[in-house]
Chain A
Amino acid sequence: MNATTSTRTRGALGSSALRPDGIPKVQGRFAFSSDAWADSMLWGATLRSPHPHARIVSIDVSGALAINGVSAVITAKDVPGQLTYGLIASDQPVFASEVVRYAGEPVAAVAADHPETARRALDAIRVDYEVLPPLVDAEDAISGSFTPIHPDGNVIRRQRIIRGDQSFVGDVVVEGYYDVGMQDQAFLGLEAALALPDDAGGGVELFVATQWLHEDQKQIAACLGLPIEKVRLTLGGVGGAFGGREDISLQVHCCLLALTTGRPIKMQYGREESFFGHIHRHPARIFMRHHADRDGTLRRVEARIVLDGGAYASTSSAVLINAVTHMQGPYKCEMATVDGYAVRSNNPPCGAMRGFGVVQACFAHESQMDKLAAACGLDPVDIRLKNAMRTGDRLITGQVMDSVAPVERCIRETAALPLPEPLPADPDPLLIPGGAGLTARRGNITRGIGWGVSIKNLMYSEGFDDYATARCRLANGVATLQFATAEVGQGFVVLAQQIARTVLGVDTVLLEPISTAIGSAGSTSASRQTWMSGGAVDGACRLVRERLFEHVAATHHVDPLRLVIDGTDVVDSMGTLRVTVAEASHGLAFDETFEHHHRETEELDENGQGNCHVAFAFVAHRAVVDVDTELGLVKVVQVATAQDVGRVLNPLAALGQVEGGIAQGLGLAVMEEIVLENGRMRNPSFTDYLLPTALDAPDVVVSMIEEPEPQAPLGAKGIGEPPCISVTPAIVAAIRQATGKELSRVPVRPLDIVFG
């Protein structure tokens, strides 16, 4: 080492840099949006429909207004702007006016001096309903047997994919029906917001936990009838999202109450209300038929997929596109016949959730691959290796796979990960199926192994330009970043700092509040922020670095193109100049803003052909389960996974995504389901909507496959969604192996194993 060697920047890309919000969260000091508070604020609360389908005959709010402490009661007739909102189609009323279309739909909202006063005010509102029969079976929406429950009709979107010989019949044909239950995002930080009216009353500022500030801003402003700039949003602390915060929930209600009363309004949902307040994962019914050559080569897939979108469109049409375009799985396949529907019903609305349509498709295609393997006398690994997709292959949409596509490597590296120890003769009773219930002994347990492999698109599709904006300012050796990227727990705040440290050679990176004061970052969803906002931060930092190099070059009379960052110094790569970034930027300020756009995509044509997706990521999962076959109880022992990540930018954060996604996919496999009965939720609470506990979570062994993606600004693919997708079919396949049961629906319930 010589004296001119620079100090390394701490927390650069590739390190497990500490999150700025990590320690405050662990210590309970982090302010979630439910902690927001303003002097003289009032509490907002929402009245919801008890019926899945009913005509509103009359609403009488006088009883509520008569209560001491109640400042306002608002209904549909108080909405000053557009009466509806929605992410793709504006079809969801701010408040139901003539009809309610799902149990839990907002009908009115109140502002009062105390949450308890607000609750009593809700009780005092008289709504006279004429109950109508609910449309709860998706097939009724398709067949036209039910009169339209919404002016936009009962079918939200239909999309076919037609490719190749439509009459081809394979040597080997396997088929089946598959059902996926309604999963909830179950983020822990409940919906909450604080709205502050402007002094002059002409605008509003909203602190809210959301996934996309600018989309919220657009929809809120339209409903309030205000110009966009009169509605300013700042991100409140977000405790998880998983897609459940893409749609408007309490935003418009909260702002409207603030404008009506001229007082700050706080709204927050409890856990039960949260189940009614946000959209869920689409339940699906899928039929699939696979055609293959005798040796197991996949030739053609046929599928019919029906997604129940519930009462309003939300992102159903985009979820459907994902489902139909991913039906082949991560496998080569020349011919396809796919027919997909997203329908409207009087069930709770469904929309985005981690995996976005691909979860449903994957459960079907992976179950099919196991059937195909059995029919061809191959094992589950060999059939997948034989058909593994490669870069350059064509998808059933005709799009050429031009992402790095290490499918074969994902499978081989997963297979090479160690299997768990066999169950000991006298196992810890807490660690076998039934756990604390002490239902089983060693002799009641059978072990099974199963596989799942998936393909997932990254970013938005079908011609949508979901760009991201970031700004970087460098002064006196300190970088300050600004972006509107929603930090929902995924860790973008630390990634942004890592990028700035790496590009600019600074240690200290400050973050401006996340708000609409800067351009859009797009949604924190679709596994896109590392790529998109990461690309924007990287771009802004590079522009600043160019300016810095120009300045250093001019000052020291060297060619700026010869300058590089080495640790915390600016160095002349062909000479002797070495000056710290802090000195070089002393007394100066460089300030640059950059927008990152991904390449353009196209809409699908009527045959489902077109380059509709930006890029793809892949993953393989191998699950080992222990099953008490007689009681139908399951313990997932281990999940091994090799994931195509492009590049690991923060090892700890990447591992967190993988482990968390696996827990969520496990939830769908064996316990998580919103149970509906005639449009009504039976279990809107954590007593009965079961999430995996520490005793349910498996050991996770991981291999990160790092083949940098040339299209991606940092070489890194999105890694948020893939972990939760193929783990579900892998677990179900393992249960099938242990039990010999068909198990065509998730979640697999104990009774499915016992009686299935």
Chain B
Amino acid sequence: MTVVNATSLQQALEALRDHPGARLVQGGTDLMVEVNFNRTTLHDVVALRRVNELKRWHIVEDSQTIHLGAGVPYAEMERSPLCHHLPALAQAARTVGSPQIRAAGSLGGNLGTCSPAGDGLPVLSALDATVHLQSLDASRDLSIHEFMLGVKKNARQPNEVIVAVTLPILDGFQGYAKVGTRNAMVISAASACVVHDAIGGTVRVALGAVAPTVVRTREAEAWLASQTNLTAPLTVSPELAREFGRRAAAECSPIDDHRSTAAYRRHAIAVLVERLLLRANDHGKSPQ
């Protein structure tokens, strides 16, 4: 077994070439659990912790987007200034594990594992993020919707590193809400992200833990757009919000497992989406 402690992206990519099939490790908060439970036997490992390129983020002025390195820890997403640009991501980050996990865990790892319960993923989906992949001799950009393929399956090739994601800076409400049987540090039983693009006139919704992979509720979104004007400010009635929640819930396909039941998950999605839309409605309005 070889462990390469890469200090640059180039080194990491070369290591992947030299050790085909090597596992990447960023925070290790998914990978080490797999190892400890004997679900994986490690042969070669390429550690990304010291690759500074992956730990940075910046605003791309021309396109009004944020380029967010795959190794940025959740703890940084929770904090200013990132939390102001990407409030739903900050909220999702806050729900991940404990402070120790958030100090180490990353979006690169969340994408790499691609669990339907990964808390970063609904946010990336609702924001129509772009995933940047890099190999030694090529780079490619995939839409998040093309990247996530199924339960713990994604479009990454073995010789590729996820280097970053690009997310739009939008005007309007963004919120994330997650249901679990504990008030902190709990794996999602159902979660939802609602993003309002006040300029583009869209409301987008993505759901976690209620299907083999994250669900974008495109039919409900189109229905909402047909019902009301989605350019700022929103004027959504409680009845409309309730119906929107119901329609979003109809688009998921949850299962029964030891964490919850399909019926509860579907119900929770309807409630979360309704509540998030009402929050979007209140966003920017004075409390009176």
**A residues touching B (Cβ–Cβ < 8 Å)?**
119, 270, 272, 430, 433-441, 444, 630-633, 635, 670-671, 675, 677, 682-683, 685, 687-688, 690, 692-696, 749-751, 754-755
Q: Which residue of A lies closest to B278 (CB)?
A: A441
Identity of the chain B residue whose Cβ is nearest the Cβ of A694 in the assembled complex: B184
Contacts of B267 in A (CB 8 A): 754-755
Q: Say if the beta carbon of B186 comes within 8 Å of chain A.
A: yes
B183 pairs with A435, CB closer than 8 A:
yes
In the complex, the answer to whether B37 meets A437 with C-beta atoms within 8 Å is: no
Contact partner of A754 among B258, B264, B272, CB < 8 A?
B264
CB of B73 closer than 8 Å to a CB of A: no
A683 lies within 8 A of B258 (CB): yes
Query: Would you call A675 and B258 a contact (CB within 8 A)?
Result: yes
On whether A436 and B187 interact (CB within 8 A), knowing A750-B181, A751-B260, the answer reads: no
List residues of chain A with CB within 8 A of the CB of B176: 438
Interface footprint category on B: 35 or more
Q: Which residues on the B side are within 8 Å of A690 (C-beta)?
A: 181-182, 186
Q: Assuming A690-B186, A693-B183, is B260 touching A436 (CB within 8 A)?
A: no
Chain A's closest residue to B185 (CB) is A693
Q: How far is the CA of A685 from the CA of B176 in the complex (A)?
A: 27
B263 touches A437 (CB 8 A): no
Find chain A residues with CB under 8 A from B272 CB: 439, 631
Residue of A nearest to B272 (CB): A439
CA distance A339 to B286 in the complex (A): 63
Known: A119-B38, A270-B36, A696-B183. A437 touches B178 (CB 8 A): yes
The 6 closest A-B pairs by CB, nearest first: A435-B183, A682-B258, A751-B264, A437-B178, A695-B183, A695-B184
* Chain B interface, DSSP helix/strand/loop, else mixed: mixed
Q: Complex: how many Å from CA A675 to CA B191? A: 22
CB-contacts of B1-41 with A (<8 A): 33, 36-38
Q: List 27 A-B contacts (CB under 8 A).
A: A430-B184, A434-B177, A434-B183, A435-B183, A436-B94, A436-B95, A436-B185, A438-B91, A438-B95, A438-B177, A439-B179, A439-B272, A440-B275, A444-B275, A630-B271, A631-B268, A671-B181, A683-B258, A692-B182, A693-B184, A694-B184, A749-B260, A750-B179, A750-B181, A750-B189, A750-B260, A751-B264
Contacting pair A436 B184 (CB below 8 A): yes
Which of chain A's residues has its CB closest to B119's CB?
A437
- New contact pairs (5) apart from A434-B183, A671-B182, CB-CB < 8 Å: A119-B38, A438-B91, A635-B183, A688-B187, A750-B189
Q: Is the CB of A693 within 8 A of B182?
A: yes
User: In the bound complex, how far is the Cα of B257 from the Cα of A438, in angstroms?
Assistant: 23
User: How many angstroms from the CA of A435 to the CA of B185 in the assembled complex?
Assistant: 10
Chain B residues near A754: list those with CB within 8 A: 264, 267
Closest Cβ–Cβ distance, residue B113 to chain A (whole Å): 13
Residues of B within 8 A of A693 (CB): 182-185
CA distance A650 to B148 in the complex (A): 57
Closest chain B residue to A671 by CB distance?
Answer: B181
In the complex the two chains form, is A439's CB within 8 Å of B259's CB?
A: no
C-alpha gap A22/B178 in the complex (Å): 38
CB distance from A558 to the nearest CB of B (A): 64
The answer to whether the Cβ of B261 comes within 8 Å of any Cβ in the partner chain is yes
Distance A633 CA – B271 CA, assembled complex (angstroms): 12
Say if the beta carbon of B180 comes within 8 Å of chain A.
yes
8 A Cβ contacts from B236-288 to A: 257-261, 263-264, 267-268, 271-272, 275, 279
When the two chains form their complex, are residues A687 and B187 in contact, meaning their CB atoms are under 8 A apart? yes
Do A433 and B183 contact each other (CB < 8 Å), given the known contacts A439-B178, A444-B275, A631-B271? Answer: yes
Closest partner residue, chain A, to B261 (CB atom): A751
B182 touching A696 by the CB < 8 A rule? Answer: yes
Query: Given that A437-B180, A695-B183, A749-B181 are known contacts, is A688 also in contact with B258, CB under 8 Å in the complex?
Result: yes
- Flag whether B105 is at the interface (Cβ < 8 A): no
Residues of B within 8 A of A435 (CB): 182-184
Contacts of A272 in B (CB 8 A): 37
Q: How far is the CB of B91 from chain A (nearest CB, A)?
A: 6
From A633, A671, A687, A692, B179 is in contact (CB under 8 Å) with A633
Distance of B245 from chain A, by nearest CB (Å): 11
Q: Complex Cα distance A677/B258, Å?
A: 9
The answer, among A441, A632, A635, for a CB contact under 8 Å with B275, is A441
